[in-house]
Amino acid sequence: MLDDARAALRDATRPVAFSGAGLSAESGIPTFREAQTGLWARYDPMALASPEGFTADPELVVAWYNDRRRRVASAQPNPAHRALAGRRDVAHITQNVDDLAERAGATDVVHLHGSLGWDRCSAGCGRRRLIDMADPPSLYACNRCGHWMRPDVVWFGEQLPFTAWSRADELAAEADVFIVIGTSARVHPAAGLITAAGAGGAELIVVNIERTPAHGIQLTGPAGEIVPELLKPTRPRSDD
């Protein structure tokens, strides 16, 4: 299976990786379901990650995100992040809101669901602010319009950022190999990119710790082991 996947990748001219929470799991960042543990287990995800939840209790929502930010700040990129960063020819679209791909050296990751590293004005006045994830601020007001600032991430029921979505949509449509890494592919419209890539003729390679119902070449195991093997540069073919 790994050989088939490597062969597909060797012949690809427009390879794309599409990652989810499983990419960062071995760095100790909990996947979405696991994030609801401990103190946070008693909260409904809708209360923590929706505009309605933020309106109802902005301090609670910011406290939860700050908890996640501190976890990300103390985590390190894993071999899968580093392997992706080392392959500039493989475009990377992620649903992750952490910055581990960038800290592994990637410079052009398409973040479909925003970034924990930024806040933005909840009233949409356009103000954004870079956050120190190791020491994030508690709830504060926008200095331009006075409304609450909020994490610059996409919540349930919200639209994806236009520029990121347009780029991802185009990359998926044009991909000839589409590598799906560590995502349950249940969050739409992001998961629709897999279908779009397949419909556009891309060969699918699926890296997941569990077998998934997705089509394509299945590489079952931890991303931190499989992705570096998959993306290891191959020797040029003698007939090139």
> In the complex, which residues of this chain contact Zn ion (CB under 5 A)?
121, 123, 125, 127, 142, 144-145
End-to-end CA, the chain: 24
Q: Is 53 in the site for ligand NAD (CB under 6 A)?
A: no
Q: What three-state secondary structure class fits 116?
A: strand
- Helices (H) and strands (E) counted in the chain, each on its own, are 11, 9
27 contacts which partner out of Zn ion, ligand NAD, none, CB within 5 to 8 A by kind? none
- Phi, psi (5° rounding) for residue 224? -65, -20
61: Cβ contacts below 8 Å, ≥ 6 apart: 47, 48, 49, 53, 54, 150
Q: Closest CB to ligand NAD among 186 and 235?
A: 186
Q: Closest CB to ligand NAD among 15 and 79?
A: 79
Q: Kindly write out the interface string for residues 13-32 of this chain, putting x where it contacts ligand NAD by CB under 6 A and - elsewhere.
A: -------xxx-xxx--x-xx
25: Cβ contacts below 8 Å, ≥ 6 apart: 31, 182, 209, 222, 223
Rounded Cα gap, residues 214 and 42, in angstroms: 32
Name which position in 58, 86, 192, 222 contacts ligand NAD (CB under 6 A). Answer: 222
Tell me the closest approach of the beta carbon of residue 147 to Zn ion, in angstroms. Answer: 5
Tell me the closest approach of the beta carbon of residue 190 to ligand NAD, in angstroms. Answer: 6
Q: Is 210 in the site for ligand NAD (CB under 6 A)?
A: yes
Tell me the closest approach of the beta carbon of residue 136 to ligand NAD, in angstroms. Answer: 15
Residue in 92, 111, 113, 215 annotated catalytic: 113
Residues 125-164 that bind ligand NAD (CB under 6 A): none
| H or E stretch covering 43 | none
Say if CB 129 and CB 56 are below 8 A apart: no
97 contacts which partner out of Zn ion, ligand NAD, none, CB within 5 to 8 A by kind? ligand NAD
Helices (H), 57-191: 58-73, 79-86, 100-103, 162-174
Kindly state the tokens that stand for 29.
Answer: 């960042």
120 contacts which partner out of Zn ion, ligand NAD, none, CB within 5 to 8 A by kind? none
Instruction: Please return the burial class of 222, using the count of CB atoms within 10 Å of its CB with bins 0-12, 13-18 and 19+.
Output: middle
Name which position in 17, 73, 97, 172 contacts ligand NAD (CB under 6 A). Answer: 97
Tell me the closest approach of the beta carbon of residue 172 to Zn ion, in angstroms. Answer: 33
Q: By CB under 6 A, name the binding residues for ligand NAD.
A: 20-22, 24-26, 29, 31-33, 35, 95-98, 113, 182-184, 186-187, 207-210, 222-223
Active site members: 113
